[in-house]
Amino acid sequence: MGAHIVKTYQEELDQLSAEVVLMGGLAEAQVADAVEAVARRDVGLAQSVVQRDHKLDELEKDVERKCIRLIALRQPMADDLRKTVAAMKLATSLERTGDLAKNIAKRAMVIAEAEPMTPLTRSIERMGKLVSSRLRDVLDAYKAGKLDLAQNVWASDTEVDEHYNSLFRELLTYMMGDPRTISACTHLLFMAKNLERIGDHATNMAEHIHYELTGEDYVEDRPKGNTLNSIE
Amino acid sequence: MDKRKSVWNVVPAGGVIGMVALVGIAMVPVLRPFLIYAALLVVAYTMYKYLVIIGEAEGRIKALKLPEKQIKVQPQGPSFQEVLRAIPDPVMIVAGIEPDDIAGRWIVFANTAAQGLFRMDGEGGLLVSTIRNPEVLECVDEALFGGISTSTFYDLAGGARDQIWRAYASPLPVTGPQRLALLTLRDETDARRMERMRADFLANASHELRTPLASLAGFIETLRGPAKDDEKAREKFLDIMATQAERMRRLIQDLLSLSRIELNEHVPPSGEADLTLAARDVVDSVSLMARDKGVSLIIRAPKPGLYPILGDRDQILQVVQNLVDNALKYAVRGSEVTVDIRYDLSLEQAVAGSNSGAARLVLLRPDRNVHDFYAQVTVRDAGPGIRREFLPRLAERFYRVEGQKSGDKLGTGLGLAIVKHIINRHRGGLVVESQSSVTSDAADVLERTPNEKVATLPAATPVTFTAFSACFPQARAYGLGADTPRLVISDGVSRDLKDAV
Ligand SMILES: Nc1ncnc2c1ncn2[C@@H]1O[C@H](COP(=O)(O)OP(=O)(O)OP(=O)(O)O)[C@@H](O)[C@H]1O
Ligand SMILES: [Mg+2]
């Protein structure tokens, strides 16, 4: 190949957001597949999640490189600068999301060897669905440049916490009832924690989109439920 | 290879020629005045080449948009584009030039179905802005650069309504650097849903029927053997058996209706329904039961017929019925069960709850940006409430809150699951709000100080309640200044009830 196509400034910016959306699609699929691997006890699927993670890492590096190049060579101003910075931040959040999904998938492989705990894995699945929908909404907001969509995601932050708290209690009851399940339950607990953090990344991304579109930081406090801080 | 050139090939070439010329001219003193002209010439030439290249790049991008060639099916007939537009399945044509340029795939054509499915603004655009599913993108790449036709499942979750599509990508013959592929989608939701449902139904039905069936078999055994001639025992056992059979009947009925609702879940309801009418019908039908329990039922609703909602009447009725059934089941003697109907609410208002500080959870969030106004029915009872940690699992099939006395009859745990599926089909929302006497914190405190007999006033026990709010998209806004939600109180208590209470 070698030969460069001359890209206009606008094209470079567009390509940047296209790449972020592409990363978003990958991250979404990683989260969905990881959760499905837990629900269906599918070790093969979990393995492929782990194997695919490097794609997100590479894309993040690529986006970062492109952003820096753009800032250095084109010196974007105002809107364009915010767009560039937001792309970089989103890419970081998405890469982290991928790491968390990978972690869930790894744990899925471990618990697939233990006895099935259907009610618990179903709770994980439910939480996973919720987190995935937040991820999807925030990416739709980014793609369409719609402020209200991003704000909706931001405002519904506490729902994930509710699910997390409920699952936490459910797990405790389970572990106390049958100490043999403790090690598997611990894995489930960390999965829930990871999902909660993916939810937080969605909220972060909503904030970055808000910044991209308005140039202002979110001033209000985050809507936080009473989180259990005992198990960080 | 390709004839594309870059600025970086041309600029040095221009530079070298220019330098040689300049050195030559500089050697001959007479020609020095021409030096300036020569320099200008070189600059102009380089500029010209540069512009040509930029122009070519733009031209290439423009070329990606398919020109509307009028190749007719028949001399007087439609063009092929028009034929594609009329196909009911989503069809797109995707173009790409370089495999490495991962974001560089353009949709150059999308038919009407595709535009509708992806809510596109036009026929073109970057592919990733429309589809970001990595598997579909991979199929497209295979078709563009590998020349292979492939297909993949594509889960399209729009709101809570999952659709399963199959995406087919196949290469299209072209000459030149630009590659084209055809991407078609087929809705396979029904087939997959049927498959999954059959498995679910069997698993659920056999599991839940096992218990009553075992008990029936046990009684039959006893009646045949030890209790053969015991008149009194026989009567008693037959009673129990009748109850079990009734339970099985209800279970099967619920399971069947749940399956039916699930099957139609992604088919939007046609027709209009009225929440006030539904609420009145339900309240009338349970008024006797409420009187027996000593519970007063109160409707606060506007006059019927003012603000129709988009929905299936029977299903809306079933939603209200199931919620009121539950409320009555858990209401304590002498308390009130209220059914409130509000309308012209925005999405945020519809899922906001009463903001009372009680535990609240959105069990189902309506699709954003689809409808402007929602009508909402809230059924509230002053029963024991549901503890916060149990809220997320409500509406799961067969889920019953642990250790809860469910009154006289044991439920099947399908009521709320049915409610949720119906609301989902109507693209509405479901919120639960509850205050229970044992909040977990209070429980901790009780455990820690079991025998402290301090003469303090007992902490005011919070008023316990449970409220389920279902909201549905309205067919149209009722009020003009629709930003303030109104609560219209009409005839207050329904007529029969006035007599009953
Ligand atoms: N108003 C309420 N107050 C307290 N708990 C409730 C209330 N409504 C529902 N629940 C809890 O939620 C559970 C699920 O309710 P659901 O209506 O799905 O099933 P059910 O009432 O047990 O059975 P059925 O299928 O006959 O309605 C109930 O078993 C109960 O524990
Ligand atoms: Mg019920």
Residue A231's nearest CA partner among A184, A169, A144 is: A169
Residue A101 and residue A31 in contact, taking contact as beta carbons nearer than 8 Å: yes
Q: Which of A15-24, A29-38, A220-229, B406-415 has the lowest mean pLDDT?
A: A220-229
| Dist. CA A126 → ligand 1 center (Å) | 19
Tokens of B382: 């002053």
Fold of B80-187: Beta-Lactamase (3.30.450)
Query: What pLDDT is recorded for position B447?
Result: 43
A18 inside domain: yes
What's the longest Cα–Cα distance across chain A?
66
Q: How confident is the model at residue B496 (pLDDT cuts 50, 70, 90)?
A: very low
pTM of the model: 0.67
Q: Which residues of A touch B (CB under 8 A)?
A: 1, 3-8, 11, 14-15, 18-19, 21-22, 24-26, 28-29, 32, 59, 122-123, 126, 132-133, 136-137, 139, 143, 148-149, 152, 155-156, 159, 162-163, 165-167, 169-170
3-state secondary structure labels for all residues of B100-167: CCCCCEEEEEECHHHHHHCCCCCCCEEHHHHCCCHHHHHHHHHHHHHCCCEEEEEEEEECCEEEEEEE
Q: What is the pLDDT of residues B92-126, one digit of tens each?
A: 999 988 887 777 888 999 998 898 888 887 777 88
Q: In this structure, is the dihedral angle defined by the CA atoms of residues B301, B303, B308 and B313, taken in order, positive or negative? A: positive
Which amino acid residue places its CA nearest to atom 27 of ligand 1?
Answer: B415
Pick the CATH number of B190-267 from 3.40.50.10860, 1.10.10.10, 1.10.287.130, 2.40.160.20: 1.10.287.130
Residue A101's nearest CA partner among A19, A191, A24 is: A191
At the second CATH level, the architecture of B269-438+460-501 is 2-Layer Sandwich (3.30)
3-state secondary structure labels for all residues of B399-431: CCCCCCCCCCCCCCCCHHHHHHHHHHHCCCEEE
A41 inside domain: yes
Looking at the complex, report in whole angstroms how far the Cα of residue A231 sits from the nearest Cα belonging to chain B: 17
Residue B347 and residue B368 in contact, taking contact as beta carbons nearer than 8 Å: yes
Query: What pLDDT is recorded for position B65?
Result: 53
A223 inside domain: no
B98 closest CB neighbour out of A1, A25, A169: A1
Q: Which of A53-67, B30-44, B232-246 has the lowest mean pLDDT?
A: B30-44
Q: Which positions ≥6 away from B482 have C-beta within 8 Å?
A: B344, B373
Judged by its nearest atom, the ligand closest to the C-alpha of residue B411 is: 1
Query: What pLDDT is recorded for position A219?
Result: 57
Q: How confident is the model at residue B455 (pLDDT cuts 50, 70, 90)?
A: very low
CB-CB neighbors (< 8 A) of B98 in chain A:
1, 5
Judged by its nearest atom, the ligand closest to the C-alpha of residue B409 is: 1
Residue A138, domain CATH: 1.20.58.220
A224 inside domain: no
Query: What pLDDT is recorded for position B69?
Result: 56
Q: What string of DSSP letters covers A91-137?
A: HHHHHHHHHHHHHHHHHHHHHTTS---HHHHHHHHHHHHHHHHHHHH
Judged by its nearest atom, the ligand closest to the C-alpha of residue B332 is: 1
Helix (H, G, I), strand (E, B) or coil at B308: coil
Residues forming a β-bridge with B154: B165
CB-CB neighbors (< 8 A) of B368 in chain A:
137, 149, 152
The number of folded domains in chain A is 1
Mean pLDDT of the region A112-123: 84
* Domain segments of chain B as ranges: 2-65, 80-187, 190-267, 269-438+460-501
Residues forming a β-bridge with B362: B431
Residue B211's nearest CA partner among B405, B396, B410 is: B410
Return the DSSP state at B459. Answer: P
A74 inside domain: yes
A232 inside domain: no
A230 inside domain: no
Euclidean distance between CA atoms B133 and B47, whole angstroms: 43
Q: What string of DSSP letters covers A143-177?
A: HHT-HHHHHHHHHTTHHHHHHHHHHHHHHHHHHHH
User: Is the pLDDT confidence value at B130 over 80?
Assistant: yes
> CA of B441: which chain A residue's CA is closest?
A226
> What is the residue-averaged pLDDT of chain B?
78
A231 inside domain: no
Look-up of token digits 């980014």: A142
Phi, psi torsion values for B388, nearest 5 degrees: -50, -45
B53 closest CB neighbour out of A6, A14, A28: A6
Look-up of token digits 């006030």: B276
Type of residue at B308: P
CB B396 to CB A18 under 8 A?
A: no
> CA of B440: which chain A residue's CA is closest?
A169
Q: What is the pLDDT of residues B11-46, one digit of tens each?
A: 556 666 766 766 766 677 677 667 777 778 877 877
**Range(s) of the domain holding residue A176:** 2-214
CB-CB neighbors (< 8 A) of B369 in chain A:
148-149
Ligand 1 neighbours, Cβ below 6 Å, are B 254, 322, 325-327, 330, 381, 383, 386, 394, 399-401, 404, 406, 411-417, 466
CB-CB neighbors (< 8 A) of B7 in chain A:
6
Mean pLDDT of the region B441-459: 45
> CA of B119: which chain A residue's CA is closest?
A144
